[in-house]
Structure 1
Amino acid sequence: MQITKTLKVAALTTALALSGTAAFAKDFTISVWAGGSNQNDAYRADAIEMAADILTREAAIRGEEINITVEKKLFNDGWDNFKQAVTLAAESKTAPHIIVTSHADIAPWSQSGLIRPIEDYVDLDAWPLNQIYDNLLEITSYNGQVWGIPQDAESRPFFFWIPHLKAIGYSDEQIEDLPAKVEAGEYTLYDVLEDAKKIQDKGLVEKGKGFSPRVSNGPDYWQFYQSFGGEMLDKESGKLIFDKQAMTDMFQFFADAVKMGVTSSTHLGGDWGQWYNEVANGKAGTWHGGTWHYARYTGKEGLDDFFGNIQFSLIPTGNDKGHANTITHPLTYLISSTGDDEVAEIAAQLVSIASEPRLNTLHAIKSAHLGIGREQSSIALYANDRWASEATDRLLGHASAMPNNTDFGAYWQIMFKGLEAAWTGQKSVADAVAGVEADIKSSMADAVIIK
Structure 2
Amino acid sequence: MTLSKSLKLAAITAALALSSTAVLAKDLTISVWSGGTGESENYRVDNIEIAADELMREAAISGEELTIKVEKKTFTSWDDFKQAVTLAAESKTAPNIIVTGHEDIAPWSQSGLIRPIEDYIDLDAWPMSQIYPNLLDIASFNGQVWGLPQDAESRPFFFFKPHMKAIGYSDEQIEALPAKIESGDYTLYDALNDAKKMQDAGLVEQGHGFYPRVSNGPDYWQFYVSFGGEIQDKETGKLVFNKQAMTDMYQFFADAVKMGVTSPTHLGTDWGQWYNEVANGKAGIWHGGTWHYARYKKEGQQDFFGNIQFSLIPEGNANGKPNTVTHPLVYLVSNTGDDEVAEISSQLVAIASEPRLNTLHAIKSGHLAIGSEQTAIPLYANDRWASEATVRLLPHAVSMPNNTEFGAFWNVMFKGLEASWTGQKSVADAVADVEAEYKATMADAIIMK
Contact preservation (8 Å) 1:8, 1:120: yes
Q: What code does the residue aligned with 1:71 have? A: E
Alignment of 1:60-71 (within 5 A): 60-71=60-71
Equivalent position SS for 1:160: strand
Offset at residue 116 of structure 1 (A): 0.5
Matched, 1:202 2:201: yes
1:379 is matched with which residue: 377, 383, 395? 377
SS at 2:186's partner residue?
A: coil
Gaps of 5+ in 2: none
Q: What residue number does 1:152 align with?
A: 151
Is residue 152–residue 332 contact of structure 1 (8 Å, CA) maintained in 2? yes
Aligned to 1:403: 401
Are residues 1:191 and 2:190 paired? yes
Whole-Å Cα distance in 1 between the matches of residues 35 and 225 of structure 2? 28
Tell me whether 272-281 or 142-151 shows the greater mean CA deviation: 272-281
- Say if 2:24 and 2:66, in contact at 8 Å, map to a contact too: no
**Distance in 1, Cα, partners of 2:181 & 2:24:** 61
State the one-letter code of the partner of 1:242: F
Amino acid at match of 1:378: A
* Kept after mapping to 2: 8 A contact 1:22/1:63: no
The residue that corresponds to 1:257 in the other structure is 256
Map Cα deviations across residues 163-189 of structure 1 (whole Å, 9 max, x no partner): 111122222122111112212222211
* Structure 2 residue aligned with 1:448: 446
**Aligned residue for 1:242?**
241
Whether 1:16 and 2:36 are equivalent positions in the alignment is: no
1:54 equivalent in structure 2:
54
Q: Is the 1:21–1:63 Cα contact (8 Å) retained in structure 2?
A: no
- Alignment-mate amino acid for residue 429 of structure 1: V
Q: How far apart, in 1, do the equivalents of 2:24 and 2:344 lie?
A: 16
SS of match in other structure, 1:6? helix
Shift in alpha-carbon separation, 1:143–1:195, aligned structure 2, 3 A: same
1:306 maps to 2:304:
yes
State whether residues 20 and 66 of structure 1, in contact with CA within 8 Å, keep that contact through their aligned partners in structure 2.
no
Query: For residues 233-284 of structure 1, what are the alpha-carbon distances to aligned partners after superposition, in whole Å with 9 as ceiling and x for unaligned?
Result: 1233232111001111111111222222222222222232322222111121
Judge conservation of contact 1:255–1:422 (CA < 8 Å) in 2: yes
SS at match of 2:70: strand
Q: Structure 1 regions of 5+ residues with no counterpart? A: none
**Partner in structure 2 of residue 172 of structure 1:** 171
1:342-400 CA distances to partner (integer Å, 9 max, x unpaired)?
Answer: 22111111101100010011111222222211211111111222222222222223222
Provide closer, same or farther for how the CA distance between residues 149 and 23 of structure 1 changes in structure 2, counting only shifts above 3 A. Answer: closer
Residues 347, 209 of structure 1: alpha-carbon distance in 2 compared, 3 angstrom cutoff = same
AA partner of residue 357 (structure 2): L
Matched, 1:322 2:317: no
CA contact (8 A) 2:40 2:294 kept: no
Describe the SS at the equivalent of 2:69.
strand
Q: Cα gap change, 1:422/1:332 in structure 2, threshold over 3 Å: closer, same or farther?
A: same
Q: CA deviation at 1:21?
A: 5.3
Q: 1:322, CA displacement in angstroms?
A: 1.2
SS class of match (1:444): helix
3-state SS of paired residue (2:172): helix
Contact 1:151 1:333 in 2 (8 A): yes
Which residue does the alignment assign to 2:101? 102
Contact 2:207–2:260 (CA<8 Å) still a contact in 1? Answer: yes
Matched, 1:229 2:228: yes
Conservation of the 8 A alpha-carbon contact between 1:159 and 1:287: yes
Counterpart amino acid of residue 75 in structure 1: F
Secondary structure in structure 1 of the residue aligned to 2:28:
strand
Between the aligned partners of 1:446 and 1:12, the Cα distance in structure 2 is 39
Question: What TM-score comes out, normalization by structure 2 length?
Answer: 0.95
Output one character per residue of 1:47-71: Cα deviation in whole Å (capped at 9) or x when no partner. Answer: 1121122222223333333332222
**How far does residue 289 in structure 1 lie from its aligned partner after superposition?**
0.9
CA distance in 1, matches of 2:205, 2:72: 46
Tell me the SS of whatever aligns to 1:241: strand
CA contact (8 A) 1:17 1:64 kept: no
Distance 1:274 1:89 in 2: 33
The one-letter amino acid of 1:199's match is M
Change (3 A) 1:25 1:206: closer
Which residue number corresponds to residue 338 of structure 1?
Answer: 336
Q: Is contact 1:115–1:336 with CA below 8 Å preserved after alignment?
A: yes
For 1:305 and 1:123, how far apart are their aligned partners in 2?
43
- Indicate the residue corresponding to 1:370 in structure 2: 368
Aligned pairs (5 A) from 1:64-83? 64-76=64-76, 78-83=77-82
Give the drift of 1:8: 2.3
Q: Hey, what's the Cα distance between the residues in 2 that align with 1:338 and 1:109?
A: 13
Q: Is the CA contact (8 Å cut-off) linking 1:22 and 1:65 kept in structure 2?
A: no
CA distance 1:376–1:112, shift in 2 (3 Å): same
Matched, 1:434 2:432: yes
* TM-score relative to the length of structure 1: 0.94
Shift of 1:84: 2.3
Looking at structure 2, the residues matched to 267 and 38 of structure 1 have their Cα atoms a distance apart, in angstroms, of 23
Kindly tell me: are residues 435 and 59 of structure 1, through their superposed partners in 2, closer, same or farther at Cα, counting changes over 3 Å? same
**Cα 1:73/1:266, change in 2 over 3 Å:** closer
Letter in 2 for 1:346: I
How far apart in 1 are the matches of 2:69 and 2:346? 15
Determine whether 1:275 maps to 2:243. Answer: no
What is the DSSP-based 3-state SS (H/G/I as helix, E as strand, rest coil) of the residue aligned with 2:436? helix
**CA–CA distance in structure 1, aligned partners of residues 57 and 389 of structure 2:** 36
SS in structure 2 opposite 1:68? strand
Percent of aligned pairs sharing the same letter: 77
CA distance in 1, matches of 2:53, 2:108: 29
- Is the contact between residue 16 and residue 23 of structure 2 (CA under 8 Å) also seen in structure 1? no
CA distance in 2, matches of 1:253, 1:278: 23
Is residue 152–residue 329 contact of structure 2 (8 Å, CA) maintained in 1?
yes
